[in-house]
A and B are shown apart, each in its own frame.
Chain A
Amino acid sequence: MIRSLTRLSLLAATASVLVPFYAILAASLQPQDNLSPGLAWPSDPQWHNYVDAWSTGGFADLMRSSLIIALGVVPLALVLATLAGYGLAMMRLAVRGPIFALLMLGLALPYESIVIPLYYDLKSIGLLNTYWAVILPLIGAFMPFGVFWMRSHFESLPPELTEAAEMDGASSRQILREVLLPTARPALTTLGLLYFMWAWNQFLLALILIQDPAMRTAPSGLGKFIQAYGRNIPLLSAGTIIVIVPVVILYLFFQRHFVKGILSGAIK
């Protein structure tokens, strides 16, 4: 009894995640003059809707911009988070506590509370409407999670690992590069994937800090697309799926990293 009840509720939970996707997939294949798609699978799937959505939404440019922003954020953010995670793990100073608290605050701070001043600040130094306007703030905002993530990786290693190198007179730089970094590959991969996904998905910062629609991230482009084509449900559905697909593919390939990163990242 309990067994079938359990499986039934799990299946219900799974189905409730999938049903909206099925609905939108079915809607994306309806003829564009069909204003009332319902739930039925179309008798004559209009794959051409995807071609139309791709060109009217300018998704080629948007995908490129999303990629540029994500690739601009990931390497630098990884380097900074690794250095700081290592620094924090070996720090024995009294400022450690305040630094910790300051970074903690960053985990709770909503983007809404910093984006308006960023708009005026970046405008005054001429960075508004450039990719940097999103890349730089994202790196800053990604620091708390990344630093805590790398720190807990370094602290999870047995102390003997570094003690031996210290005895041999290795500098902290040598220890980091030759002893610690080789162990950090899985942690860095997970962090890099999360950073990539969060940057690619970024909406609010791109919406406000980049005015040229073609330079925004794919989700921001989708936001504008929805406002412009509000009544053309098949086209909108196709556009939404276009934006979703790259992230889903990435997720399916690196599922373990994503699940582990988000679940244990939340706990740390």
Chain B
Amino acid sequence: MADSLANRVAVRDRTVVAPATPVRARRSRARLVPLLYTAPALLFYAAFVIAPWLHSLWISFWDWNGIGVATWAGLDNYREILADPALRLSLVHAFGLILFYSVIPICFGLVLAALVANVPWKGMPFVRTVIFLPQILPLVAVGSVWKLFFDDDGPFNALLRAVGLSDFTRAWLGDFTWAYPAVGVVGTWVSTGLCFLLLYSGIGKIDPALYEAARLDGARAIHEFWHVTVPGLRRELSVAATVTVIAALASFDVVYVMTGGGPGESTMVPGVAIYRLTFTAGQVGTACALAVVLSLLTCAVMFALNRLTREKP
């Protein structure tokens, strides 16, 4: 942003105060025109995303309850995140959700896509419509559906009773052991369709000659899967991983609605912790420190995934 403003000022000065040769002036002006087109969008982005983020960073160095006078805290808020088991746990939970949001859906999606690619089917458009549905629903409504599904007297327990597993019925979301996987399953439900369709469309782009070559070499289906399909999907796999990992680390809606982080802290994630620290506990500085840590971790993971998949083209 500063860059573009500085450039605009510079060019104005040059044309008014010290006009270069007309041709050169016009050319350099033309080179800067694209910046003018980009400026309004960047301005909005800087004002409502970058500036608040920097403000968050600033607040994170203060001890502030949101109303009174703030006192300088240095890195105390960051130390608290490491020291407080509940806050530390929220970060661990966020990373644990990667298993449910990314790993399981990508495995499911990959196997399903590889199977389907070999056997075209008329029913596919219908399947695609349904399977993509979770991507467009408000996550709050998704959370609400699953909260009811896992309710004490809800359909899931009814299902278990119907197949003779009454011993396993429980209040899933009130259970210290089972609430977390129950919340995680929702992530799997949301992400699987996306991963499947991403990978399925990727398989269509793999050069059929590669498969033919593998078959001429007498490769079996499994061999073909590992040596043609998976390497051919490198790009799609990395995209699926990036998108779903970001969703996992930023999960808020589903957890807020289903458990609010409970019972105890057993499903606490950073998003809910930030909300609570700010509006219930009055520890705005700590909330902002957690927000900074979360965003840095998210960017680091994204960067790592990017590197990992780019190394071998």
Same complex origin of A and B: yes
A142 CB to nearest chain B CB (Å): 9
Q: Would you call the interface of chain A mostly helix, strand, loop, or mixed?
A: helix
Contact status A37-B136, CB under 8 Å: no
Residue in B7, B33, B121, B292 whose CB lies within 8 Å of A113: B292
Q: Is B257 an interface residue (CB 8 A)?
A: yes
Whole-angstrom distance between the Cβ of A63 and the nearest chain B Cβ: 12
CB-CB < 8 A to A239: which residues of B?
Answer: 144
Complex Cα distance, B38 from A241, in Å, reads 40
**A27 CB contact (under 8 Å) in B41, B128, B155:** B155
Q: Which residues of B contact A10 (CB under 8 A)?
A: 112, 116, 121, 123-124, 127
Which one of B80-88, B208-216, B223-231, B245-253 contacts A?
B245-253
Q: Is the CB of B274 within 8 A of A267?
A: no
List B residues 109-165 near A (Cβ within 8 Å).
112, 115-116, 118-119, 121, 123-124, 126-141, 144-149, 151, 153-155, 158-159, 162
Q: Complex: how many Å from CA A248 to CA B121?
A: 25
- Is A172 part of the binding interface, using a Cβ–Cβ cutoff of 8 Å? yes
Query: Which residue from A6, A21, A251 sits with its C-beta under 8 Å from B119?
Result: A6
Residues of A within 8 A of B65 (CB): none
Q: Which residues of A contact B95 (CB under 8 A)?
A: none
B44, chain A: closest CB distance, angstroms: 4
Verify B299–A13 contact, CB threshold 8 A: no
Q: How far is the CB of B297 from chain A (nearest CB, A)?
A: 10
Contact B119 A3 (CB under 8 A): yes
The answer on a CB contact under 8 Å between A35 and B153 is yes
- Rounded to whole angstroms, the CA-CA distance of A28 and B33 in the bound complex is 57
User: Which residues of A have CB within 8 Å of B155?
Assistant: 19-20, 23, 26-27, 37-39
A38 to chain B minimum Cβ distance, whole angstroms, is 4
Interface size on A, residues (CB 8 A): 99
In the complex, A147 has a CB within 8 A of chain B? yes
Contacts of A108 in B (CB 8 A): 246, 295, 298-299, 302
Q: B66 at interface (Cβ–Cβ under 8 A)?
A: yes
Contact, CB under 8 Å: A139 / B34: no
Q: Given the known inter-chain contacts A10-B112, A14-B130, please indicate yes or no for A147 contacting B41, CB distance below 8 A.
A: yes
Determine which of B4, B147, B192 lies in contact with A13 in the assembled complex, contact meaning CB atoms within 8 Å. B192
**What chain B residues lie within 8 Å of A83 (beta carbons)?**
37-38, 40-41
Is A113 within 8 A of B295, CB to CB?
yes
Task: Output the least CB separation between A257 and chain B (Å).
Answer: 11
Q: Are A84 and B40 in contact (CB under 8 A)?
A: yes
In the complex, per-residue mask of B163-196: 1 if CB is within 8 Å of any chain A CB, else 0 = 0000000000000000000000000010011101
- A35 to B, closest residue via Cβ: B153
> What are 26 contact pairs spanning A and B, CB under 8 A?
A6-B115, A7-B119, A9-B112, A10-B112, A13-B193, A13-B196, A17-B193, A36-B158, A91-B35, A93-B31, A93-B34, A110-B249, A112-B274, A112-B294, A117-B53, A117-B288, A121-B52, A136-B47, A137-B48, A140-B49, A144-B45, A147-B41, A201-B137, A203-B256, A204-B271, A243-B138
Q: Which A residues are within 8 Å of any B CB, using their own CB?
A: 2-3, 5-7, 9-11, 13-14, 16-21, 23-24, 26-27, 35-39, 80-81, 83-84, 86-88, 90-93, 95, 98-99, 102-103, 105-121, 136-137, 139-141, 143-144, 146-147, 172, 197, 200-201, 203-204, 208, 218-220, 222-223, 226, 233, 236-237, 239-240, 243-244, 247-248, 250-252, 255, 258-259, 262-263, 266-267
